[in-house]
Amino acid sequence: MGYGQTTSAGLDTTFAALADPTRRAILARLASGEASVSELAKPFAMSQPAISKHLKVLEQAGLISRGRDAQRRPRRIEGRPLADASGWLEGYRKFWEGSFRRLDALLDELKTSGKKKRKPRAHRKRGNKR
Amino acid sequence: MNNTGSLKISAQGDREIMMTRVFEAPRRLVFEAFTKPELVKRWLLGPPGWSMPVCEMDVRVGGTYRWVWRHDSKGTEMGVSGVYREIVPPERIVSTEKFDHAWYPGEALGTVVLTEQGGKTTLTQTLLYESREARDGVLQSPMEQGVAASYDRLAEIVAAQLAGGN
């Protein structure tokens, strides 16, 4: 569910950027330290322009940024959008867990009140009594 | 995938997310808890700190529903609306689901199926998205990729950056 704190446009961009396995691998590589485009291209057996395309998507999603070194232009990972994305899913799970725990309690209550009302268990039709 | 307590969330096929949960109650009661607004309001609240100021439900085929939650201290709101497509007491509810600020394209079609055995009810809730991309977008999270090592580091970096007030 929404959990309001993050804009949906931001999450859309984040998820779209994360949907690609190469981009996830690039992020994983950058998680161990910043790297230049050519350093990133090596392990992927991809051309630099192809890698650059992926980097552009990641950059636009705010997942990576460029370092100060003017020659290498190293890319580095940005944590915030990732934290938002995973925070969202975590929120989804928490939402249902919290809700279902309450539902457990409510069902217990309904069972108890049902037993009281329904005694004796005659052939009572629905809507007979509220 | 997620399996905390008895709640299970998993991907199903290309476009679905499935969630299952067992309740210690006959399905007649679970069905009531899902279809009577005065009952829904009492449990569909998410984690502590949220309330449900709007809970409007016209539970019949073609009827609409509107739910809004509010975080009591932060004041953030989230709303969802949809249309009931099938109502089969006490076993099946099919409805569309569209969040005000959806984070995936299109709307989802939700199906709740209740099966009862030995006084216990198994709830299966399926959400069918319009595309694989939408579904994957909902499920995708670097923390859950299982590509363990590097993502664990990623998580550490994220945590460190957040702790640093980034």
- Please tell me the predicted confidence (pLDDT) of residue B7: 77
Is the residue at B157 inside a domain?
no
Ordered by where they begin, the domains of chain A are 1-119 (1.10.10.10)
- Closest alpha carbon within chain B to A8: B103
How far apart are the C-alpha atoms of A58 and A78, rounded to whole Å? 10
Domain containing B8: what range? 2-139
Q: Phi and psi for A12 in degrees, rounded to 5?
A: -55, -50
Pick the range with the lowest mean pLDDT from A28-42, B11-25, B34-48, B126-140: B126-140
Would B17 be classed as within a structural domain? yes
* Residue whose structure tokens are 């099966």: B115
CATH of the domain at B105: 3.30.530.20
User: Is B158 within a domain?
Assistant: no
Chain B (106-145) residues lying within 8 Å, Cβ to Cβ, of chain A: 133, 136-145
Is residue B49 a part of any domain in this protein?
Answer: yes
Within a domain: B160: no
Residues of B in contact with A75 (CB under 8 A): none
Using DSSP's 3-state secondary structure scheme, residue B71 falls into: strand
Out of B30, B79, B151, the one facing A107 most closely (by C-beta) is B30
Residue at B97 is within a domain: yes
User: To the nearest whole angstrom, how far is the Cα of B26 from the nearest Cα of chain A?
Assistant: 9
E strands present in B24-140: 50-57, 64-71, 77-88, 92-99, 108-117, 120-128
pLDDT tens string B94-138: 999 988 766 566 789 999 999 999 989 999 989 898 888 777 766
Q: Is A61 on the interface with B (CB under 8 A)?
A: no
Beta-carbon contacts of residue A111 (< 8 Å; ≥ 6 apart): B25, B26, B29
Q: Both ends of chain A: CA-CA distance in Å?
A: 35
Kindly indicate the confidence band of residue B46, based on its pLDDT and cuts at 50, 70 and 90.
confident
Q: How far is B62 from chain A (nearest CA, A)?
A: 23
- Spell out the residues 6+ positions from residue A38 whose beta carbon is closer than 8 angstroms to its own: A48
Band (pLDDT 50/70/90 cuts) for residue A107 is: very high
- Cβ B151–A5 below 8 Å, yes or no? no
Chain A CB contacts of B143 below 8 Å: 86, 89-90
CA dist list (Å): B44 to A28, A98, B35, B90, B139: 37, 8, 11, 19, 21
In a domain, B94, yes or no: yes
The answer to whether the CB atoms of A4 and B101 lie below 8 A apart is yes
Q: Is residue B164 part of a domain?
A: no
Q: Residue B134, exposed/middle/buried by CB under 10 A (0-12, 13-18, 19+)?
A: buried
Task: Among A32, A97, A108, select the one facing B4 at the smallest CB separation.
Answer: A97
DSSP string, B124-155: EEEEE-SSHHHHHHHH--GGGS--HHHHHHHH
Q: How many domains does chain B have?
A: 1
